[in-house]
């Protein structure tokens, strides 16, 4: 049943309102402009980028009320829609009554003028939502999330809600937040203390829902997770958050090639969906931050992603003659300058890199025939670097056990995971997409801290 809300959104009024309609609007004042006999108010309720212009003719509203109408104050107006003589909009509302819902002291409200720097806005994440930029970003984030769920639903993937508190280190990276109810200063030896801890064993905020998603895929065939993920690495960059959102599909019977195809069609579907649903927000962000934004998005969906093996990528980098700070070397991780060179100079578009050396990837990735590389895939985007990391999983019990031993990973905590290989094991694959990194590409906002509500990073907790 459609909601019959008593108050219409500005988006609805601008889309479907007609001259002569009565209108009631609740919104925040973006700007107030006084001329001789008229006050013009730009009203915004966050439902779309565009403002609704409200026109208050002198004498209609008591001076006492008009004294509280400032940038930032919340008001309710009632009136009639009339054709606007201004070029900016087709309709405006001629105000008959006005009520102050929440004043905003102009001497104290921090968003008085337009064009604040992103650095400044990062200091007031609870108010930056009221700017055009962050309104656009969060509407796009919403539509992207819708696209993600639609894509998986249309392709037979079941949304699995994997736990946030986890007993296992899925990535073996060792950068986890501990979850405990033990006192801050606990004098007891670790093992003894753990017995008294809430779960009676070690617990962490999850770094990935993948291992649990694998259990799902080996029962439901195709699943995906979409939730918050936590990493305690001390990375202060424009691409790292301590709390970020990750989408992790996992599919039984999928090989690495099927996985690449899945990731490519998924990313393209999302880009296309955002282009179709967010054009005015995208145009605004392009104008403000990145003139080539729309071309870049269209280019990303117009041709197949480039595919290259890790070994070939290292060769390309070594032969490039480019003065890298870190020398590209087989066996070492790709640095962000290498990713940048591959996506922005060599291939000029998204690149899928496969078959990495086993030493630099997680224990669960399937060992290739050569015994040196694993069936991994990273997808790199221009301007961002790695947005997707995934692989075919090691489904052979003995090989998996050998890999865990080599990497000194304890069997005890992963016994349940090994069961998946003991009973009805099949080839399967999956990947993780970092939502904020992808959004950074989609919005042109080149810092992941500007596409999440309240960023968490080393020494930063916000609101």
What is the binding site for Mg ion (CB under 5 A)? Answer: 389
The single residue among 179, 437, 440, 450 that binds ligand 4AD, judged by CB under 6 A, is: 437
Smaller CB separation from ligand 4AD, 66 or 164: 164
Q: Binding partner of residue 300 among ligand 4AD, Mg ion, none, CB under 5 to 8 Å per kind?
A: none
Using rule CB under 6 A, residue 266 touches ligand 4AD: no
Residue 78 tokens read as 């009632």
Using rule CB under 6 A, residue 427 touches ligand 4AD: no
Q: Min. distance of Cβ 170 from Mg ion in angstroms? A: 12
Task: Judge contact between 67 and 55, C-beta under 8 A.
Answer: no
Nearest to 118 by CA among 458, 460, 451: 451
The single residue among 135, 328, 350, 434 that binds ligand 4AD, judged by CB under 6 A, is: 434
Backbone angles phi, psi at 274, to 5 degrees: -70, -40
List Cα–Cα distances, 18 to 21, 280, 380, in angstroms: 6, 21, 47
Spatial neighbors of 228 by CB under 8 A, at least 6 apart, are 164, 243, 244, 245, 246
**Alpha carbon distance 174, 167 (integer Å):** 13
**Alpha carbon distance 297, 147 (integer Å):** 15
Binding mask 268-307 for ligand 4AD (x = CB under 6 A): ----------------------------------------
Contacting range for ligand 4AD; rule: CB under 6 A; set: 43-51, 185-193, 395-403, 428-436: 428-436
Task: Judge contact between 382 and 433, C-beta under 8 A.
Answer: no
Q: Min. distance of Cβ 389 from Mg ion in angstroms? A: 3
Residue 6 tokens read as 């008593």
Burial of 370 (C-beta count, 10 Å sphere; 0-12/13-18/19+): exposed
Residues 69-128 binding ligand 4AD (CB under 6 A) are none
**CA-CA-CA-CA dihedral for 284, 286, 287, 289, to nearest 10:** 110
The single residue among 160, 241, 352, 377 that binds ligand 4AD, judged by CB under 6 A, is: 241
Contacting range for ligand 4AD; rule: CB under 6 A; set: 23-31, 37-45, 258-266, 432-440: 432-440
Using rule CB under 6 A, residue 231 touches ligand 4AD: yes
Residues 375-394 binding ligand 4AD (CB under 6 A) are 386-390
Using rule CB under 6 A, residue 431 touches ligand 4AD: yes
Q: Binding partner of residue 384 among Mg ion, ligand 4AD, none, CB under 5 to 8 Å per kind?
A: none
Number of chain residues interacting with ligand 4AD (CB under 6 A): 22
Smaller CB separation from Mg ion, 278 or 380: 380
Nearest to 453 by CA among 152, 157, 138, 22: 138
Q: Min. distance of Cβ 221 from ligand 4AD in angstroms? A: 16
Q: Min. distance of Cβ 432 from ligand 4AD in angstroms? A: 3
Q: Min. distance of Cβ 272 from ligand 4AD in angstroms? A: 20
Using rule CB under 6 A, residue 428 touches ligand 4AD: no
Chain Cα centroid distance, residue 253: 28
Q: Which residues pair with 354 in a beta bridge?
A: 309, 377
Q: Say which residue the tokens 């980028």 belong to.
A: 49
**Alpha carbon distance 122, 52 (integer Å):** 27
Beta strands in 137-242 (DSSP E): 158-159, 165-166, 204-205, 222-230
**Alpha carbon distance 54, 80 (integer Å):** 10
The single residue among 342, 374, 448, 451 that binds ligand 4AD, judged by CB under 6 A, is: 448
Using rule CB under 6 A, residue 395 touches ligand 4AD: no
Q: Say which residue the tokens 């907790």 belong to.
A: 461
Q: Min. distance of Cβ 133 from ligand 4AD in angstroms? A: 20
Chain contacts with ligand 4AD (rule: CB under 6 A): 170-171, 208, 210, 231, 240-241, 244, 246, 248, 386-390, 430-432, 434, 436-437, 448
């Amino acid at each position: 049943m459609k909601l019959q809300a008593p108050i219409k959104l500005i988006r609805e009024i601008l889309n479907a309102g007609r001259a002569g309609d009565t209108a009631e609007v609740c919104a925040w004042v973006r700007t107030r402009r006084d001329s001789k006999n008229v006050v013009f108010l730009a009203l915004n309720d966050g439902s779309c980028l565009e403002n609704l212009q409200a026109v208050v003719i002198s004498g209609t509203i008591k001076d006492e009320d008009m004294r509280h109408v400032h940038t930032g104050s919340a008001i309710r107006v009632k009136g009639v829609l009339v054709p606007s003589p201004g070029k900016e909009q087709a309709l405006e509302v001629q105000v008959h009554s006005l009520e102050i819902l929440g004043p905003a002291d102009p001497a104290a409200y921090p968003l008085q003028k337009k064009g604040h720097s992103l650095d400044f806005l990062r200091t007031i994440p609870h108010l930056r939502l009221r700017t055009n930029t962050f309104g656009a970003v969060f509407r796009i984030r919403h539509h992207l999330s819708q696209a993600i769920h639609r894509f998986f639903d249309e392709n037979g993937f079941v949304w699995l809600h994997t736990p946030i508190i986890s007993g296992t280190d899925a990535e073996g990276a060792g950068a986890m937040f501990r979850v405990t109810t033990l006192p801050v200063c606990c004098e007891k030896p670790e093992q003894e203390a753990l017995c008294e801890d809430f779960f009676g064993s070690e617990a962490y905020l999850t770094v990935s829902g993948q291992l649990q998603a694998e259990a799902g895929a080996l029962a439901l065939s195709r699943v995906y997770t979409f939730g918050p993920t936590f990493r305690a690495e001390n990375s202060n960059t424009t691409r790292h958050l301590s709390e970020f959102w990750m989408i992790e599909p996992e599919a039984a019977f999928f090989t690495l090639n099927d996985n690449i195809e899945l990731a490519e069609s998924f990313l393209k579907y999302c880009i296309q969906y955002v282009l179709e649903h967010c054009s005015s927000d995208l145009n605004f962000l392009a104008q403000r931050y990145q003139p080539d934004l729309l071309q870049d998005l269209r280019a990303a969906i117009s041709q197949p992603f480039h595919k290259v093996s890790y070994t070939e990528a290292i060769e390309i980098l070594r032969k490039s003659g480019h003065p890298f700070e870190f020398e590209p070397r087989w066996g070492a991780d790709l640095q962000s300058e290498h990713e940048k060179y591959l996506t922005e100079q060599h291939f000029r578009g998204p690149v899928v890199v496969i078959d990495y050396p086993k030493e630099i990837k997680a224990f669960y990735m399937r060992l290739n025939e050569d015994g040196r590389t694993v069936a991994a895939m990273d997808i790199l985007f221009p301007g961002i670097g790695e947005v997707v990391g995934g692989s075919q999983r090691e489904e052979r019990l003995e090989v998996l056990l050998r890999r865990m031993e080599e990497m000194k990973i304890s069997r005890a905590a992963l016994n349940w995971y090994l069961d998946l290989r003991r009973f009805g094991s099949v080839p399967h694959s999956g990947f993780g997409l970092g939502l904020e990194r992808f959004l950074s590409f989609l919005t042109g906002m080149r810092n992941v801290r500007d596409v999440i509500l309240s960023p968490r990073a080393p020494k930063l907790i916000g609101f």
